Structures are given as C-alpha cells and as structure tokens.
Amino acid sequence: MTLLKSAEQDRWSAAAVWFARLQGDPAFCDWKAFQTWLEASPGHRQAYADVEALWLDLDLVAADSAMVESGCRDRRGSPRRAVDGLIAEWRSWLLGRSSS
C-alpha cells in the first residue's frame, strides 16, 4: 500500500514539474520529452490531467477572491459562497485521494 501511494506521489510530482515546465514558451525538445513521459503510462496521463484541473480550479479561486475583494457578489448574493464551496470540494477530493 505504501509503495502504491509513493508511486502515485511520484507521478503527481512529475506531472506538476511537467506542467510548470510547459508554461510560457517551452522548447520543442521539452514538448517531445513530455510526450514521451505522457505516453509511458496511463498513470502519467491521469496525474497530468489532475494537475491541470487543479490549476484551473486555482484560477477560479483567484477570480472569486478578486470578486470578493472588489465587493462583487456571486449570483446567489454571497461573496464567499462560491469560494467556500470550492474549498470544501477540494478538501473532500484530497481526503479521498489520501485514503485510497
């Protein structure tokens, strides 16, 4: 069980490094190496998709935080409800990952 968690953590760490490396204007050799890594394992694909989804969620939180700071409200009238809901979803998701 520990080995599986360690392997999953290694995939996540590698996916996060690839995600960061590919931001901006990466060289062609970086794309080629990334493609090789991505195709080496279905676990790599999933880990990268998870990291990318987390990044997109963080963008939503940043946008929601900017709304709160500017005094804007979400459609339901609460400036914090959207952010609080997203944080609760992340907490649930992370707890689910750590128990599997």
What digits encode the pLDDT tens for the residues 10-40? 898 899 899 889 988 889 999 999 999 999 9
What distances in angstroms separate CA 94 from CA 20, 29, 61, 98, one per listed residue?
21, 33, 16, 6
Query: Token digits for 91?
Result: 């907490």
Neighbours of 15 (CB within 10 A): 23
Which stretches within 1-100 are classed as H helix? 2-21, 28-39, 42-70, 81-99
**Residue 41 per-residue DSSP state:** -
Q: pLDDT confidence of 1, banded at 50, 70, 90?
A: very low
CA-to-CA distance for 88 and 99, rounded, in angstroms?
Answer: 17
